[in-house]
A and B are shown apart, each in its own frame.
Chain A
């Protein structure tokens, strides 16, 4: 059964329940994942899954449910499960579904590339990249594998107030971890690239950089402990924005967990920092003209030259603080809760290339690898404290020198955003947690150029 047919069946079912309003969010995903290794046939995973989430309202209270059974049984389960929850939930505000006015307009976006439906294209791309890395360094052949995945998505949002929306989009992601070895010692780096109809990064250039980095790690030393100025490589800085963007999300703001909840219009970060959330960004892999509640999406400046300009709200979190939705209602999938979250969020690029950032830095550290960057791992989403093992390079007199390893950077994200001195011109979108199996379920696509940050605590030897 298709989402369209199910939605009609559900409308008939809903009439039998005492709902004031309801809202259906359906997602169908067809995926192909190919993992390519040297001298082996690709390992393939194909999938096709569809499901719907339901939100129902009665006297301002909410019931939420989901199902993957797109049949009569599923429609009945969905309505009954949501109804059972209604009398117990109380968010303290009168929940609503979106009511579009007659002049409402949704921006048209074309971010579906038919070429990604071609399985050979996906496998060939992964094979080409894998071979490219092996050609760069023959010693990497033994461990080299490249994972390419295409997600083709169809999203629908329908509600009892006349919203009836559908959008189709797709994107391709590539993951690989070039591993250098010498005398039994092994060190790896990583490459992530996301690509859609509007394009993507230069994947071969990213691979070349990663291969060189992995080889350099083989001779890494441990830095002296101390407080350093640091340049974060663009791919690594994407973890930083993934760490602090939560401070500006509706739930953290409406529940006053965020320490900037009452700082609208105030300086909360360095004047070098501007943060944009743009659900209409052509190259953004999550771009969509409407959010999971059917609200039109729009580009917004979250931080402008360090000044807090906007939070990211859905209808519920906006109502809790007496504000308007910013079109930031998202679900990772139908079986996840509705969030107020970023879509395609990024640090606005500055004017400096990486070498110019090194020169501004003078003496310090260039961070090229971070682990445990997740909330709940090395990052505390409430306090903002972080402590993440790192690898990188010493920078001396503005020049990249010896590799460094076995050290941890620590600090607090509320301080880090105040200590950004400059941003590079090399915007890149990093691996979003939502695409990493087992990572915390957090929506959003996060981008950043390289950034120069002062006052980072480094624990080494």
Chain B
């Protein structure tokens, strides 16, 4: 996008103007969406993001500037102006870059932009048909193909310039069931760091039928009860709990400011001993995976909690500087329009010792949360909440009638000790988008156990998890 010499010149200028760290981020990103809605393609959009972000540190002070005017004059001008905000004395700085190559763990067999639109439309037609034909109560279905071919260059004053290309393919399946008086919805959003082979590797028609089944089930579901009760979080989408309740509170953007609930807790017991929590950006082709983060640090497998003991945080470069811990390849951003901060990749509970059957059987009266909506977590108060799109009453060790309109909420610091059983079936990861300060990012989550379900916010792998005494708000 711009010559190596100009990148070196920008970093040199930042350092000369007093910065003690300078970073250039370049992005050339092509995206396409095609929506097949009730029998025809009603929306299609192809576009190109193309811009640069320049970030400077002086001690713990940060200045960020971004532009899509990539002329030399403009880039040098905005760098100098940004450096002025640091109010640091000028210094001598000579600088040159060497090229690094990050390990690519994500094989892509068919780059989507090289495949004709007609083939994408044919996949959408079969997904749509599978959802629409599930029941006469399904009045509407849509399938949206989403692809992104993201080319990044990250150069830092560490002296290395990284180039990376990541290809994402995803399909959004939405269904509406109606009885003429009210509507209910179901959705699924499978996606991978993968090319068009996604449509062969993933059984998208079965997933479409599951989305339709959720909408129909909810049409006949009762309102959820309320109260404090044992809750079983289904494997897969139940990982939204991991993401909202714990993950955000372990990000260095929260910890480094002080005051967050998990500050100064390294080496201390923060959860039941059955809990091992991992954030892993290296899983091949997984939705939340990366090769190198947006600060030029290679992805890592980061054990955050090991058998209930807090072992590490999710650390970006500034967090590393403030907290004195190594960065964990977690500095991420939606695009050059955002400065990177510490974010999750694929976050999950490692499988535990319990079977799903035993978990369900252990409950006299409780709630089984199967399909999840979005939620939020507060790293200061440790409050979390997330919605349960589809849930079921557990009575006498059996999953019984479906419920809708439930939220689960609590204080994470307490709830982590209330986890009583952890499922032994790793299951599939869940794909979602996480919205935070550096934009909307692909992330994965997981709890292990029943069939994979979908979270609107994150990809999470959770082992089927029994949380005693979680507050259910119906």
Identify the A interface with B (CB < 8 A).
40-51, 53, 63-70, 74, 77, 81-82, 84-85, 88-92, 142-143, 179, 181, 186-188, 225, 255, 257, 259, 334-335, 337, 371-372, 374, 376-378, 380, 382-383, 385, 387-389, 406-408, 410, 436-439, 459-461
Contacts of A186 in B (CB 8 A): 259, 380-381
Number of A-B contacts (CB under 8 A): 224
Q: Do B46 and A85 touch (CB < 8 A)?
A: yes
Interface size on B, residues (CB 8 A): 83
At the interface, yes or no: B439 with Cβ under 8 Å from chain A?
yes
Task: List CB contacts (< 8 Å) of B169-210 with chain A.
Answer: 176, 182-185
Expressed in whole angstroms, the minimum distance between the Cβ of A316 and any Cβ of chain B is 9
Among candidates B40, B46, B182, B383, residue contacting A389 with C-beta atoms closer than 8 Å: B383
Separation of A67 and B438 alpha carbons in the complex (Å):
22
Q: Do B66 and A40 touch (CB < 8 A)?
A: no
Contacts of B397 in A (CB 8 A): none
Q: A68-B49, A382-B176, A410-B473 are in contact. Are A389 and B409 (CB under 8 A)?
A: yes
Separation of A383 and B387 alpha carbons in the complex (Å):
15
Separation of A333 and B383 alpha carbons in the complex (Å):
33
Q: List 16 A-B contacts (CB under 8 A).
A: A45-B64, A46-B66, A49-B68, A49-B337, A53-B47, A64-B46, A67-B48, A89-B41, A255-B37, A334-B47, A376-B374, A377-B387, A378-B407, A383-B183, A410-B473, A438-B334
Among candidates A67, A334, A380, A439, residue contacting B435 with C-beta atoms closer than 8 Å: A439
Task: List CB contacts (< 8 Å) of B421-457 with chain A.
Answer: 433-440, 456-457
Q: Render B74-107 as a binary contact track against A, CB cut-off 8 A, 1 for contact.
A: 0000100110011100000000000000000000
Q: Do B49 and A378 touch (CB < 8 A)?
A: no
Chain B CB within 10 A, most for which of A46, A65, A91, A188: A46
Contacts of A376 in B (CB 8 A): 373-374, 456-457
Q: Do B381 and A188 touch (CB < 8 A)?
A: yes
Expressed in whole angstroms, the minimum distance between the Cβ of B22 and any Cβ of chain A is 15
Contacts of A335 in B (CB 8 A): 31, 47, 49
Separation of A74 and B68 alpha carbons in the complex (Å):
12
Separation of A77 and B405 alpha carbons in the complex (Å):
45
Among candidates A66, A179, A378, residue contacting B373 with C-beta atoms closer than 8 Å: A378
Besides A143-B257, A188-B380, 19 new A-B residue pairs in contact (Cβ under 8 A), listed by A number: A46-B82, A47-B66, A68-B48, A68-B68, A143-B259, A188-B378, A257-B183, A335-B49, A337-B33, A376-B373, A377-B376, A378-B385, A382-B176, A387-B406, A389-B385, A437-B338, A438-B439, A439-B435, A459-B473
Residue of B nearest to A439 (CB): B435
Contacts of B62 in A (CB 8 A): 43
Q: Do A437 and B176 touch (CB < 8 A)?
A: no
Chain B interface main SS type:
strand
Q: Do B45 and A459 touch (CB < 8 A)?
A: no
At the interface, yes or no: B226 with Cβ under 8 Å from chain A?
yes
Separation of A20 and B45 alpha carbons in the complex (Å):
19
Separation of A85 and B118 alpha carbons in the complex (Å):
10
Contacts of A89 in B (CB 8 A): 40-44
Contacts of A41 in B (CB 8 A): 61, 85-87
Residue of A nearest to B39 (CB): A92
Q: Do A142 and B46 touch (CB < 8 A)?
A: no
Q: Do B44 and A255 touch (CB < 8 A)?
A: no
Residue of B nearest to A217 (CB): B381
Q: Do A377 and B373 touch (CB < 8 A)?
A: yes
At the interface, yes or no: B258 with Cβ under 8 Å from chain A?
yes
Q: Do B407 and A372 touch (CB < 8 A)?
A: yes
Separation of A91 and B38 alpha carbons in the complex (Å):
10
Residue of B nearest to A222 (CB): B471
Contacts of B185 in A (CB 8 A): 380, 382-383
Q: A143-B380, A387-B406, A438-B440 are in contact. Are A90 and B42 (CB under 8 A)?
A: yes
Task: List CB contacts (< 8 Å) of B41-69 with chain A.
Answer: 41-51, 60-69
Separation of A388 and B473 alpha carbons in the complex (Å):
9
Separation of A48 and B259 alpha carbons in the complex (Å):
34
At the interface, yes or no: B375 with Cβ under 8 Å from chain A?
yes
At the interface, yes or no: B339 with Cβ under 8 Å from chain A?
yes
Residue of B nearest to A49 (CB): B68
At the interface, yes or no: B284 with Cβ under 8 Å from chain A?
no
Among candidates B41, B339, B381, B437, residue contacting A88 with C-beta atoms closer than 8 Å: B41
At the interface, yes or no: B132 with Cβ under 8 Å from chain A?
no
At the interface, yes or no: B121 with Cβ under 8 Å from chain A?
yes
